[in-house]
Amino acid sequence: MITVAIDPGKHGCGVAVFRATSLADIAQDNKHLLTAAYAPELPLSADHGLLLAARAVEVYLRDTFGPLEAILRITIERPKVYPTAQQKGDQEDITELSVVVGALLGLLSRHCRDIRLVYPHEWKGQTPKEVTKRQVIDTLTVEEANRIVFPKQRGLHHNIWDAIALGLWAQERFQG
């Protein structure tokens, strides 16, 4: 049984893959690597980039785990618009993340019938990123922790931690 958790990002999605209830693999699918490998002649406009962030996830899952029909469940963090007082960063990012999530749904729903969209507050509450990271480290087995490989861009590490935490939550191994 393969389950997948995805933390969407404009520059790549954090992906955590579980076999049964154990973390099997992680990826930070970088849309620029996908473009170089699969469509080097494609000009990378902002819109293409958002769609490629989603396509990178599909290609990674297929190339790593075979037929996507083997995936039992996919859990994706759903972008959330917060009231003005709670907003952080550029709110246009929420729109762009929604494009990535829509593309993920379009690509992956052809293969997997059980796709859950969950808001951040549903699975982690208002837990700060550093606390979530510490909780993930405390929850993983040594073997699982050894499978984590991070992208070179430190600014993208949070996508990996959130994907793992979301996957652990979906496996009922994590309480945010």
- C-alpha pair distances (Å), 161 with each of 22, 42, 115, 130, 148: 15, 31, 20, 9, 9
Place of tokens 């690597």: 33
CA 132 – CA 154 distance, rounded (Å) = 17
61 domain residue, yes or no: yes
Counting the structural domains of the chain, the total is 1
**Per the domain annotation, does 73 fall within a domain?**
yes
Opening angle at CA 78, ends 77 and 84, nearest 5: 120
pLDDT of the residue at 166: 96
Is 176 inside any structural domain?
no
Q: Mean pLDDT across the chain, nearest whole number?
A: 82
d(CA 89, CA 10): 14
Determine, yes or no, domain membership for 143.
yes
> Does 60 fall in a domain?
yes
Mapping DSSP to helix (H, G, I), strand (E, B) and coil, where does residue 84 land? helix
Look up the domain containing 67 and give its range. Answer: 2-82+90-170
Q: pTM value?
A: 0.85
Residue 29 in any domain: the answer is yes
How confident is the model over 16-43, as pLDDT tens digits? 999 988 998 887 655 544 444 444 444 4
| pLDDT value at residue 87 | 65
Pair of tokens at residue 63: 């190339």
Looking up residue 140, the CATH number of its domain turns out to be 3.30.420.10
Flag whether 175 is in a domain: no
**Residue range 38-51: mean pLDDT, rounded:** 55
pLDDT given for residue 40 in this prediction: 43
Considering all CA atoms of the chain, what is the largest pairwise distance in Å, rounded to the nearest integer? 45
What are the pLDDT digits (tens) for 75-116? 999 998 877 666 676 777 888 899 989 999 999 998 898 999
Q: Give the C-alpha separation, 6 to 117, whole Å.
A: 10
Q: Which residues, in sequence order, are CB contacts of 127 under 8 Å at separation 6+?
A: 135, 176
Burial of residue 1 (CB within 10 Å: 0-12, 13-18, 19+) is exposed
User: What 8-state DSSP symbol labels residue 111?
Assistant: T
Per-residue confidence (pLDDT) for residue 3, from 0 to 100: 92
**Which of the two residues, 33 and 140, has the higher pLDDT score?**
140
pLDDT of residue 39: 44
